[in-house]
Amino acid sequence: MDVKGVVLWESKFKESSRLLRVFTDKLGKITVLAQGALRKNAKHLSLTQPFTLNHYELIRGKSFYYIKDGEVLISYYDLSRKYEKILYGNFVLELLDRTAPEEEPVPGILELLNRSLEGILNSDEELYALFFGFGLLERTGFGSEIRGCIRCGNRKIKELYFDPEEGGILCENCNRPGSLPISKEDYKALYFLKHKPERLKEENIDRSSREILWKISSLECRLRLDIRHLNSMDMINKIQREKKRI
């Protein structure tokens, strides 16, 4: 079977092989065994690296898929040369690995992943990591409604609140305990991330709004995707705390 995919995770298997978790366009998330990938001059070593979009020709076995042939289509591996870029890249891969079901294709996710990795490599890594998180929620049917108050439909809102349990924006009249107050700048940043990501390069989204975006993303991932902890998020939080001290 011919598929396109990105390696989410890899580990050594026995003496000379690698076991991979790959997210693909046609099969969703699958487990792949790259036999002999660690041998000298191995043919398929490049197909086992995270942060690359690959074409795979696969053979299905009893427990794994096996690589018959393939080629690297796009490499985002240069992002691993910068510490913060690899942190946000790892966040994207870990989040997808934790949420994607086995062998269940999800339309649009591979394209979202590629666009996010490209943005992390070439643009603002933090914003494109957030872009992936919100995009993943949208494509799995858990996207929030932010074009107006989710309760009354009011679009001329004076005071904005985000309520993860309601799944969107509340106005000043519908606000309830537990909802998160957000500024107009926070809302603008959230809107661009969800609906106009091409504008991200033009917008100067400040630290305060970024922190609100992370808070919203974390709340939604916990409630909608049952994600309560990510190792990569621990490292991102550490970096953000260090920036505050500067």
Domains, the chain, in order of start with CATH, read 2-75 (2.40.50.140), 82-245 (1.20.1440.120)
**Contact between residue 150 and residue 127 where contact means Cβ atoms under 8 Å apart:** no
The phi and psi torsions of 154 (rounded to 5 degrees) equal -60, 130
Q: What is the pLDDT along the chain (246 residues), one digit of tens a residue?
A: 999 999 999 999 888 889 999 999 999 999 999 988 888 888 888 999 999 999 999 999 988 999 999 999 999 989 989 999 999 999 999 999 999 999 999 999 999 999 999 999 999 999 999 999 999 999 999 999 999 999 999 999 999 999 999 999 999 999 999 899 999 999 999 999 998 888 877 778 999 999 999 999 999 999 999 998 899 999 988 888 877 666
3-state class (DSSP) for residue 174: coil
What Cα–Cα distance (Å) separates residue 93 from each residue in 22, 68, 149, 196, 218?
10, 24, 33, 23, 16
